[in-house]
Amino acid sequence: MNGLAEMLKPTEAAVVASVELRDIHRVIDERILPEGFVVVEDGRRIAATACMLIAFYFDSAKRLTSEERLLAIRQAGQRLRGLGDFASLVEADWILRDDYLAIDLAPFFQRAKARMDRLTAARDMVVSDPDVLGGAPVVRGTRVLVHDLAASVAAGLPVERIASAYPSLDARKIELAALYAEANPARGRPRASENLPVGAVVVADRRVARRKKAGRNSWSTNASVQNSPSSRNAKATTNPLTSSGWAAQAGKIGS
């Protein structure tokens, strides 16, 4: 499927349009795009080419009114339907005119195409295999988790330092991994594979109960235990750090 016909998830569209995810949902909810560029059945999807219009809508908000931006998007939408692919889309004349107003959309299309090309490269670089780390996305040909790389980049670690920790990766692969993770954020914990790798044998299967944290009622719980019938027959102990404890210690010293 080429870039023109492809429908993107909201997170992918946010990357290609270089806007926030909430902006993508706003575009869908307010029906800013022309009909046919958005699909809401079985999950929200946006046409890849529409990301260019989304970028224009938000980037020009301080210079153009809402009516002017919507008019330009409607005119551009009509032209988009007659084009074949991203190459012809970039080469087309994207200067829109309405009376005294002229808007050149070419820079928005060029930047969005560049981001779409990088997203396509990131997809080709990442693989998910149920037999490799439970199917978590990894860099092709390695066992390096994509979202681990993205977390390192988000933490502000220099790309050179990350690359030194993974000799099989270079700066381009690390940047593409971060882009892929942004377009496909991890949700919850990765699912473990139900099937063992070939040749693997279970040596032990032991479940360890999770330790409970002490709550606010820990003192009352201890008190109820100490006052229980079984505890009354137990030998009493004195805490040397309490007032009665100090008194007991003083009595011993005095004797």
Mean pLDDT of 169-190: 86
Dihedral of CA atoms 46, 51, 54, 56 in degrees, nearest 10, equals -160
Report the distance separating Cα 152 and Cα 136, nearest Å: 17
Q: Is the pLDDT of residue 142 over 90?
A: no
Higher pLDDT, 196 or 161: 161
Structure-token pair, residue 139: 């860099």
- Overall number of domains in the chain: 2
Structure-token pair, residue 53: 């219009």
Given CA atoms 165, 171, 175, 176 in this order, what sign does their dihedral have? negative
Mean pLDDT of 214-226: 47
Give residues with Cβ within 8 angstroms of 37, minimum separation 6.
Answer: 46, 47, 49, 50, 53, 77, 80
Q: Does residue 109 sit in the same domain as residue 26?
A: yes
Q: Does residue 61 sit in the same domain as residue 161?
A: no
Q: Does residue 87 sit in the same domain as residue 164?
A: no
Mean pLDDT of 210-237: 49
For residue 196, the model assigns a pLDDT of 46
Q: How many CB atoms lie within 10 A of CB 23?
A: 18
- Domain span at residue 167 reads 128-183
* Per-residue model confidence as pLDDT tens digits over 46-70: 998 899 999 999 999 999 999 989 9
Last residue of a domain, one of 155, 183, 211: 183
Higher pLDDT, 93 or 24: 24
pTM value is 0.68
Dihedral of CA atoms 250, 253, 254, 255 in degrees, nearest 10, equals 130
* Per-residue model confidence as pLDDT tens digits over 78-127: 888 766 556 667 677 777 777 778 888 888 888 988 999 999 999 999 98
Report the distance separating Cα 206 and Cα 5, nearest Å: 51
Q: Cα 73 vs. chain centroid, distance in angstroms?
A: 29
User: Quick check: is 104 in a domain?
Assistant: yes
For residue 77, the model assigns a pLDDT of 86
